[in-house]
Structure 1
Amino acid sequence: MTIGIDKMGFYTPHYVLDMTDLANARGDDPAKYHIGIGQSEMAVVPPTQDVVTMAANATEQILDATDRDQIDLILFATESGIDNSKAGAVYLQHLLKLSEHSRAIEIKQACYSATAALQLGKDYLKAHPGKRVLVIAADIARYGLETAGEITQGGGAVAMIMSENPRILAISDESTYLTRDVMDFWRPVYATEARVDGHYSANVYTDFFTDVWTRFSDTYHHEISDFDAMLFHLPFSKMGLKALRTVLPEDQTVADKLTSQFDQARLWNRHVGNLYTGSLYLSLLSLLAHGDLHAGSQLGLFSYGSGAEGEFFTGTIQADYQEGFDKAAIQTLLDKRTPVSVAEYERIFKDSLPTNGQDRALDISHDSAKYVLGGIKNEQRQYLVQ
């Protein structure tokens, strides 16, 4: 039985910050941002969007009547949850009017959890032929203004519908994974911004990749030349390139191909920023849209979540992969975003819902998305459909 990703959708909010403007405001050389970390633009998330609304907007792009009838498992991967008890998947199920006779679960392990959701979804479909699974990777990356991590912020959601005989990517059973208790990144329950040791985390990332790739190669007898592209979790796009360079072969033709494919895979990430759980899968979308692929192309995927957990797994591109996502809609979404100044970005960053139980209504007139957050009332988020 072939199981994998049948359709993919993407959403990011309508505000964007040019990294050159941020560099100038912070007294840095813009090359540090554009070349040093490999980022051109950063998504700016207004209060009218959270992980639930972004997930709904991403899913709306791909949802049809067949999906509504067959989806009976919703797996919501995020480290930006809105409630310590109730799963974001439950809010999403209600907003999208999906079947009440479904399981709706939230999964957390930093940036890795979407991959855990994919693997759980694959196993579920093996046991439940004819069903579909909705996997969401939605996050808002926040490190604080004028912090070392500020330039690796961003936000958005990737929605994936899994099925038998998928149109996009068949996921192999071959994978290797690693978990260690590492304090390279965390966010205490009382904090809205993450704590991170950037240099340490980058080293852990590379160490995890080396471990899972080496064990994958030894266990399943694969060489780097067996792959048409290698995809990486991209908290910033330069990090994945550094990891790729550690395994590039001496064969220049293969090395050039993998490097070129990587550049196409990070193209959309460069213009959105860090998506946490969604970063690897936005990279996959970007490769599908811009890469040199064909039916049977072999992809290697490295997923990493600080704290820390990593996995290397593989997938095979299917013949109708271009029918599983809307390249034009995603590009239009990115192109039509409203640029904001650094001052506007800072104002939006500081504007958040009350944490003391007070009511607040939000002005949604500037947010053109279908699903928006209208505020909070009686300590309950007010989701609206426009």
Structure 2
Amino acid sequence: MSKMTIGIDQLGFYTPNYYVDLVDLAQARGVDPDKFTIGIGQDKQAVPPSSQDVVTMGASAANEFLTPDMKQDIGLIVLGTETGIDASKAGSLYIQQLLNLNPWSRAIEIKEACYGATAGLMLAKDYIATHPGKTALVIASDIARYGLETGGEVTQGAGAIAMLVTENPRIMALGDVSSYYSEQVMDFWRPVYTDEAIALGKYSTEQYIRFFELTWADYQKQTGKQLADFAAMTFHLPYTKMGLKALRTALPEADAVKQADLLAKYEESIQYSRQVGNIYTGSLYLGLLSLLEKNTNLQAGDEIGLFSYGSGAVGEFFTATLVDGFRSQLHAEQHQATLDARTQLSVPDYELVFKDKVPYAADNYQADPARFAGDFVLSGVTDQQRQYQVNE
């Protein structure tokens, strides 16, 4: 009996319809723009209105590719997020309702900082291995908030990536071996009483690199593979220079030609993130999507390394192999057109949108209909119940 091949069959992407230019933000904050655009490696930052949350963004990302037949085959719905909307109820249940997904499924939410979606992907792989014929929908959706005029302001962002995980996938097959490592580390956290995270930036960067070095070395020990065996390496990208710091620790293992090739592909993998910012659980997969849609040389059989990191902390290095016809499943022109069609906000308008948010209180709330965008919106909160609707 042949071994089952399981992996990513579809990739969807959504980001809010507004952004702030980081040169404008730097000038408003009295900072040299090069610090943001070169030092941090960001150009634009998605700005979510209060009518967008992890549910609406996640549903919109999945709605990009789901067909009626696909919806009926889904047996597992996972939302990976660290900006959940309820301390108890899974946001995937709202997504299930908005998308009219198969009710005979498991719908859950996974939290472990930026690692949650990877945990969901691995759970989906195991689920499909024991449920032939079934598929899984894994959604990474987040809003990164650190506050106005804070050190972390430049690494905010919002967006979602949706992945359909199946047998015989049409984009990439997940590898059988991965290395994962967990340790209680206080590099980043968000108390339950606030929607703004607390980050120890320098310390978190050190932990990110340490966890990469640990899992990469362990993966090599398990498999005997070297850097030269990979066509590309992709990373969790809270900001685009972060992954480069980790990649540089491994580059000396390869010759100069291979190093140049990996650096060029890394540059392709960060193009979407430069325009969107930090989307927490989805950042690794936004980088993967950018690589696949910006690169023209990758081909079936190429193996890609992926490093996932969630502060607190969990790290995992795993791999995926591109399959025949993968390019036909991508939507590069559509995604770039979506990014190009967004509305730029002035810094004062960005600050107004940032401050207009669903309250951390029992108050009723009405979102501004003038800023409704996307396939689905949060219209408001009534009696502590979120009100979602299709955006006509």
Q: TM-score range by the shorter chain?
A: over 0.9
Deviations along 1:308-360, one digit per CA (max 9) or x if unpaired, are 00000011011121222311221111000000011111111111113332222
- Of the structure 1 ranges 356-365 and 219-228, higher mean CA displacement relative to structure 2 is found in 356-365
For these two proteins, the number of residue pairs brought into alignment is: 386
Deviation at 1:37, TM superposition (A): 0.8
Match of 1:179 among 169, 177, 182: 182
Deviation at 1:361, TM superposition (A): 1.9
Q: Which runs of structure 2 are paired with 1:182-221 in the superposition (5 Å)?
A: 182-221=185-224
Q: Which runs of structure 2 are paired with 1:277-296 in the superposition (5 Å)?
A: 277-291=281-295, 292-296=297-301
Q: Are residues 1:145 and 2:137 paired?
A: no
Match of 2:169 among 166, 171, 175: 166
Match of 1:342 among 338, 347, 351: 347
CA RMSD of aligned residues (A): 0.9
- Runs of 4+ aligned residues of structure 1 deviating over 4 Å after TM superposition are none
Deviation at 1:17, TM superposition (A): 0.7
Inter-partner Cα distance in structure 2 for 1:284 and 1:307: 23
Check the 8 A contact 1:111/1:277 in 2, yes or no.
yes
Check the 8 A contact 2:240/2:270 in 1, yes or no.
yes
Partner SS state of residue 174, structure 1 = coil
Match of 1:37 among 33, 37, 40: 40
Check the 8 A contact 1:14/1:367 in 2, yes or no.
no
Q: Which runs of structure 2 are paired with 1:323-362 in the superposition (5 Å)?
A: 323-362=328-367
Inter-partner Cα distance in structure 1 for 2:150 and 2:143: 16
Partner SS state of residue 308, structure 2 = strand
Residue 17 of structure 1: aligned partner: 20
Normalised to the residue count of structure 1, the TM-score between the two structures is 0.99
Residues 356 and 366 of structure 1, relative CA distance in 2, 3 Å threshold: closer
Deviation at 1:365, TM superposition (A): 3.1
Inter-partner Cα distance in structure 2 for 1:221 and 1:231: 20
Residue 257 of structure 2: aligned partner: 253
Q: Are residues 1:113 and 2:116 paired?
A: yes
Amino acid at match of 1:150: E
Inter-partner Cα distance in structure 2 for 1:229 and 1:362: 42
Partner SS state of residue 353, structure 1 = coil
Residue 376 of structure 2: aligned partner: 371
Match of 2:272 among 254, 257, 268: 268
Partner SS state of residue 177, structure 2 = strand
Check the 8 A contact 1:364/1:372 in 2, yes or no.
no
Partner SS state of residue 17, structure 1 = strand
Q: Are residues 1:48 and 2:57 paired?
A: no
Inter-partner Cα distance in structure 2 for 1:378 and 1:149: 33
Deviations along 1:71-97, one digit per CA (max 9) or x if unpaired, are 010010000000011100001001101
Q: Where in structure 2 are there 5+ consecutive unaligned residues?
A: none
Deviation at 1:250, TM superposition (A): 4.8
Inter-partner Cα distance in structure 1 for 2:306 and 2:360: 38
Inter-partner Cα distance in structure 2 for 1:67 and 1:376: 31
